Copies of this chain bind each other. A is one copy, B any other.
Amino acid sequence: MIVVRTVSDLRAALRGRRGGSIGLVPTMGALHEGHATLLRAARSADDTVVMTIFVNPAQFNEQSDLAAYPRTEDADLALAEAEGVDVVFAPDASEVYPDGFATTVSVSGPIAETLEGAERGRAHFDGVATVVTKLLLAALPDHAYFGAKDAQQVAVIRRFVADLGIPVTLVVCPTSRDADGLARSSRNTRLSPDERARALAIPRALTAVTDAAAAGVRRSDALRERALDVLAEALIQLEYVAFVDPETFAPVSSVDRPTLVAIAARVGATRLIDNAVIPPVPPTTGGA
């Protein structure tokens, strides 16, 4: 496994490998089993697996969150090696944003401006879009792998990749969960045992919603009540429970097509997000 710190070294490392397919797994480090799932997906599909580690300052809206974000490069490199990664690209901020840097890739509309875009500020998805564009253009992979937990980020990336015509196929892997149901996240390490127990209300609320939808509840308002009932018991600070189109993030009032239910909440000082896709409910037969 090669570790490179500059775009030119990354390109040099990949130069001889373009005969086969290249898979890219962008990360902010602090790797966990969720990242390992992405690396395995890439390893099984691509001839060369590239992983990036970059804690992107541009996408953090809170300096305290950036400062507290876990940095565990030695452990990350060991995990990458164990998962068969070929090349790790781990640049400094000065390599990604040299003096004079002045370019932003920006997506407009509900996809980038609602939910995470509203809570974290417009700069968040601008930061994501700009750095992911740079990583994709640096590696020019055939496939890039993302986790479904960051559903809105995935939708934003899908949008600008299509709009700009970046030649890559996105692969979205299902959210990886611990045995208790909590979506894996680098931020979970900050939860106290009590906070972790309370955080489980988030996946339970998603299950309550998908169960109710499967049982025929169609109105987003009614489904939201099911989620709120579960979340209310857990003493967490809810930011949103939203029902949206998974591609455009336009609000959905009635679940008669695939709908994303997304939750964001603070548990203690830690902000967590999770989501599920509700499959379209087949219309019931018979009258009103």
Q: A residues bordering B, Cβ < 8 Å?
A: 7, 11, 100-109, 111-112, 129-130, 133-134, 137-138, 140, 159-160, 163-167, 248
Contacts and interface: CB of A to CB of B under 8 A. Distances in A.
Nearest to A104: B106
Given A103-B105, A134-B163, 8 more contacts: A102-B108, A102-B160, A103-B107, A104-B106, A105-B105, A137-B164, A137-B166, A137-B167
Contacts of A109: 102
By Cβ-Cβ distance, the 5 closest A-B pairs, closest first, are A103-B163, A103-B160, A102-B109, A137-B165, A104-B106
A165 B134 contact: yes
A125 to B, nearest CB: 11
Contacts of A134: 163-165
Contacts of A103: 105-108, 129, 159-160, 163-164
Nearest to A110: B102
Nearest to A137: B165
Contacts of A112: 102
A165 B102 contact: no
A101 B165 contact: no
Contacts of A248: 100
A130 to B, nearest CB: 8
Given A111-B102, A159-B102, A133 B7 contact: no
B7 A163 contact: no
Chain B CB count within 10 A is highest, among A138, A160, A163, for: A163
A255 to B, nearest CB: 22
A176 B166 CA distance: 33
A9 to B, nearest CB: 13
A63 to B, nearest CB: 21
Contact of A167 (B100, B105, B140): B140
A163 B107 contact: no
A134 B166 CA distance: 8
Contacts of A160: 102-103
Contacts of A111: 102
A102 B161 CA distance: 11
Contacts of A130: 164
A103 B132 CA distance: 14
Nearest to A10: B165
24 contacts: A7-B165, A11-B167, A100-B248, A101-B163, A102-B107, A102-B108, A102-B111, A102-B112, A102-B163, A103-B105, A103-B106, A103-B107, A103-B108, A103-B159, A103-B160, A103-B163, A103-B164, A105-B105, A105-B106, A106-B106, A134-B163, A134-B164, A138-B165, A140-B167
